[in-house]
Chain A
Amino acid sequence: MVYKKRLDGRKFDELRDIEAKVGVIKNADGSAFFKIGNTHAYASVYGPKKLYTRSMQDPKSGIITCKYNMMPFSGAGGRVRPGGNRRSKEISMVTENVFKDLIDLSEYPNAVVEVYIELPQTDAGSRCCGICAASLALADAGIPMKSLVGAIAVGLVDEKVVVDLTYEEEHYPEFAKDKITSEHVADIPLAFIPGSDKIFLLQMDGVISKKSLIEALEVGKKAADKIFDIQVKALKEKYNVEE
């Protein structure tokens, strides 16, 4: 049986509930909160400031460092060991690469912009949620950047393209209510600049056909545009601007 109805009753191209807020951390230069379904992320930005690891200084342009951290109590299962692990290192790196080409720090030689992403509660799509929060926080800190970025996970569940997977959908064979036709689940985190075809993040877990992948990218692009609208609203709300 092909996936007909989603486990949480959403439409196939419907996102989970999104909430965005800017300026939540007082001591940071820029900060934001982003929530999608049960995944919550706080991002804070410090800088541009002096980079004291002098071997890392770049006299042509400033650099950006990102740190992704899941809090010990954030997972659905047991306690996550605090501190870094291989997974958080990888996600920190891909987040850094998303913003490396997006922000312009040529005005700030030898300086650094630090981004910290903390996740107090996670379901699925935590790296996408973190990137959405970080892009809001960077804009709030006044860093020159090409655009805000909308990140979202798309995927293939039982031969059907879906957007914004939950934990149950990522492990569909375990949680399926009906008989399943295909064991394969694909999970593709994406990051788009709104209104363009430029992809800043594309990773994949699982198996997907070429046709489905192209379809998934199209769906993801539309979802990223929706996220962009929410981000714009959140930023303007901070300055009490109604539109």
Chain B
Amino acid sequence: MIKFSEGSVVVPGEAVAEGKEYRIGQGFYRVGEKVFASRLGILRIKEEDNFIYLVPLTGVYNPREGDTVIGKIEDFHSLGWRIDLFCPYSAMLMVREVPGYVPAGELDKVFDIGDLVCVKITKVTNNKMIDVSMNGPGLFKLNEGRIIKISSQKIPRVIGKQGSMVNMLKDKTGCKVIVGKNGLIWTKGEPKTEIIVNEAIKMIEDLSHTSGLTDRVAEMLDKKMEEYNKNKG
């Protein structure tokens, strides 16, 4: 028996379900018959296979293989750069993972400390050593534009189902947008449209636990863009 409905907020130590027929996923633990939540999040139920799991509402970024992230160059090593991923662990970018020629001993000519780069995580070990790569489409150094940081747990809402939300942001404002899974979002376009995108992202972050968000954001974007076009012309 599940005591809460799908989509309700549960807090640590709350008895969520009773009975052994449920399989439990991330965010729950079992004591005897009872199932308790172990972190603050939203309850999700898969009725067909008696499976319950929890989508966290807060928390730091947990690096995973295959994620595209935005990082900051932190330090030089003999064979690469150390990159701050804005989570408890930093990543290593080897010289061979960077396209193009890198002169030996002159790594700072390519990326200097404080530069922002868009990279892909290729490997995460059990003791949280992270390797990243820049070989691949859409991975490059971020030279211009605007960066904004939000909670990494809200990133799935910014992306939306099959990228619906981020594509809408791009289409309606004409900005380039890159969403890093670690909570950093880069935008580039007309300065004023960049601000509109950032406002929309802030709105998504504040209202991320509500439903029907895409429509509300679309409405807000239409209004702002209309104003922008009027002032421009």
Q: Which residues of A contact B (CB under 8 A)?
A: 29-30, 47-50, 59, 62, 104, 107-111, 139-148, 193-195, 228, 231-232, 235-236, 239, 241
Contacts and interface: CB of A to CB of B under 8 A. Distances in A.
B56 A239 contact: no
12 contacts: A29-B60, A30-B58, A48-B60, A108-B128, A139-B12, A140-B40, A141-B59, A142-B60, A144-B38, A145-B12, A146-B12, A235-B40
Contact of B39 (A48, A110, A145): A145
B153 A142 contact: yes
Contacts of B8: 241
Given A48-B88, A142-B60, A110 B9 contact: no
- If over half of B's interface residues share one DSSP class (helix, strand or loop), that class is named, otherwise mixed; here it is loop
Contacts of A235: 9, 11, 40
Interface in B78-136: 88-90, 127-128
B57 A239 contact: yes
Interface of B: 8-9, 11-15, 27, 29, 36, 38-41, 56-60, 62, 88-90, 127-128, 153, 209
Given A30-B58, A110-B128, A241-B8, A146 B13 contact: yes
Contacts of B56: 142
A109 B127 contact: yes
Contact of B38 (A59, A145, A193, A228): A145
Given A48-B60, A239-B57, A239-B209, A143 B39 contact: yes
Given A49-B88, A111-B88, A146 B40 contact: no
A104 B38 contact: yes
A236 B11 contact: yes
Contacts of A59: 127
B58 A140 contact: yes
B59 A228 contact: no
Nearest to A51: B88
Given A228-B13, A232-B11, A241-B8, A142 B88 contact: no
Given A142-B56, A146-B29, 9 more contacts: A30-B58, A47-B88, A59-B127, A110-B88, A143-B59, A144-B39, A145-B13, A228-B13, A232-B11
